[in-house]
Chains A and B, each alone.
Chain A
């Protein structure tokens, strides 16, 4: 029998529909694979019993002819999404023991379609990080190694990408605030998709930076991404920033035909000091697009270099406020001080509950919002953010999609950048601008670097035009024919 964990979601879907396999079989195989992948530290909570129940229910649905794209498909859920009665801590100690009494809309959408939950996935604490080294549950290992050296899976959706690259989930939910889907996808040879801000509900998703956070997916290929994205998308009245737009059939957008399409190449993304391999791969991508009949157009996004500093004002500011609710009063960790009062409890709880990176960002955010500094930092950043969004708006008057590298490097070794916050922040240099503008984007795996580590290219689209991003991603995937798989050292 074939290894069911190596199937794509699309393949499994078709086999399930035909009755050739059952969700029970598929789920059992994945539960075993989840256990075998413990060395990756991708899962921080496993839910095998729940998975089997859900699988049986999915099999009944399929028998009854109620079959959707995700019915019976085992997936992993980033710990950022509230799952009723199941561990939900955004991988922070401060949410110690928290089991929500509610379900996030994104996961509810999956369960409504009959998907199966394997467990909760590791991530950077509160999604703050680009290497998955800030999790309270320890770092995630990238299934791809540099020789014998471990590498980071990227972040913050490190558990999501590692589980999917490591065949311990057919797909995973993820979230992107400044690149947390696309950058780790690039590091692990997976397909990451972030939709337009407002496409997926943020209800029940632990907030990091509300104006940027957007749910998305990690899958092994583009078609799977389209199937899973269609399931999690949709209007939700419980989120005031959710937009009431019909969800297109994303899979239908995978026509393979981009003839005549205009693809923009932002000149400002040619960073000085970027590894030659990445530059070369980008040019290769441009050639593939040309070969497929697209027209390549040079564009300018003049405020690109200000995107990261803008992001590192806006995101911490919002985070400092969003994370104020973790105070030891209503849920999670509580640390009291002998003879102390309420304020002592707050300070002790938050000191013990948050990790260093989270504290650093809360401090920065508190500072830039504080009296006397608001205008100079926060207001200034929101103005520059508007300029960045305007850059994209003007560019998209000339082009249908934009092609860039996803990250300025391949996966690095643990600890390599964790001492220098700014070096770490630079990982998101190509992903942050689109996040600030709320645009849809993907990372498509296209090749390996000299160390045998995967690299991805980023495709960005107009607001609400996820279909073009999928279409171009599909053509890129086809042209790149990226078939490399990591050696399964963790099994």
Chain B
């Protein structure tokens, strides 16, 4: 089923926002095909009428009360920022 080519690797890398050099695309395609070919043995399993697992925890989602208990910590929020100016995170401009 899977046949990942160079273009597909480039597309996935773009989606994942990882720069991959042109000469690495081909070898990576090989690796990914290997792994995907191996996981495709799942096709042997009959999963008709099987519900996908939603959580291994057999519990209901707990709800929080609507109270302000957090925030007001601008310094902590920005502490590890590579670049923060005037209370903002600063990043290179979006080029469209």
Q: Do A and B come from one complex?
A: yes
Residues of A within 8 A of B (CB): 97-101, 197-198, 211, 237, 240-241, 243-244, 303, 305-306, 309-310, 312-313, 320, 324, 327-334, 336, 340-348, 350-351, 354, 359-360, 362-364, 366-367, 370, 376-377, 379-387, 389, 421-422, 436-438, 463
Contact B47 A384 (CB under 8 A): yes
> Can you list 5 A-B contacts with CB-CB less than 8 angstroms, sorted by A residue number?
A101-B73, A342-B92, A367-B12, A380-B43, A438-B57
Instruction: Using CB atoms, name the residue of chain A closest to B94.
Output: A342
Contact A344 B51 (CB under 8 A): no
Contact A367 B4 (CB under 8 A): yes
Instruction: Using CB atoms, name the residue of chain B closest to A386.
Output: B53
Count B interface residues, CB 8 Å: 54
Cα of A97 to Cα of B19 in the assembled complex, Å: 22
Query: Is residue B68 contacting chain A, with contact meaning CB distance below 8 A?
Result: no
Contact B47 A328 (CB under 8 A): no
Contact B56 A197 (CB under 8 A): yes
| A237-B62, A438-B56 known; A384 vs B45 contact (CB < 8 Å) | yes
Contact A387 B31 (CB under 8 A): no
Instruction: Kindly identify which residue among A197, A306, A329, A344 contacts B89, using a CB–CB cutoff of 8 Å.
Output: A329
How far is the CB of A484 from the nearest CB of chain B, in Å? 36
Instruction: Using CB atoms, name the residue of chain B closest to A95.
Output: B80
Q: Which of B32-73 contact A (CB under 8 A)?
A: 32, 34-36, 38-45, 47, 50-59, 61-62, 64, 73
| A198-B57, A328-B82, A332-B80 known; A363 vs B18 contact (CB < 8 Å) | yes
| A243-B59, A306-B42, A366-B15 known; A380 vs B47 contact (CB < 8 Å) | yes
Please name all residues of chain B whose beta carbon is closer than 8 Å to the beta carbon of A341 when the two chains form the complex: 92-95
Cα of A377 to Cα of B52 in the assembled complex, Å: 12
| A330-B80, A363-B13 known; A387 vs B35 contact (CB < 8 Å) | no
How far is the CB of A235 from the nearest CB of chain B, in Å? 10
Please name all residues of chain A whose beta carbon is closer than 8 Å to the beta carbon of B80 when the two chains form the complex: 97-101, 330-332
Please name all residues of chain A whose beta carbon is closer than 8 Å to the beta carbon of B45 when the two chains form the complex: 303, 306, 380, 383-384, 387
How far is the CB of B63 from the nearest CB of chain A, in Å? 10
| A243-B57, A312-B35, A330-B81 known; A363 vs B89 contact (CB < 8 Å) | no
| A197-B56, A362-B16 known; A387 vs B32 contact (CB < 8 Å) | no
Contact B19 A348 (CB under 8 A): yes
Please name all residues of chain A whose beta carbon is closer than 8 Å to the beta carbon of B12 when the two chains form the complex: 363, 366-367, 370
Contact B53 A389 (CB under 8 A): yes
Contact B9 A240 (CB under 8 A): no
Cα of A329 to Cα of B82 in the assembled complex, Å: 7
Instruction: Using CB atoms, name the residue of chain B closest to A303.
Output: B45
| A310-B42, A341-B93, A364-B35 known; A347 vs B18 contact (CB < 8 Å) | yes
How far is the CB of A12 from the nearest CB of chain B, in Å? 35
Please name all residues of chain B whose beta carbon is closer than 8 Å to the beta carbon of A348 when the two chains form the complex: 19
Contact A345 B18 (CB under 8 A): no
| A387-B50, A421-B35 known; A197 vs B92 contact (CB < 8 Å) | no
| A211-B55, A379-B52 known; A347 vs B19 contact (CB < 8 Å) | yes
Please name all residues of chain A whose beta carbon is closer than 8 Å to the beta carbon of B9 when the two chains form the complex: 363
| A363-B9, A363-B18 known; A240 vs B50 contact (CB < 8 Å) | no
Given contact pairs A340-B95, A386-B53, a sample of 13 additional A-B residue pairs in the complex whose CB atoms are under 8 Å apart: A99-B80, A101-B73, A211-B56, A241-B57, A309-B38, A309-B41, A309-B42, A312-B39, A313-B39, A350-B16, A351-B18, A383-B45, A387-B50
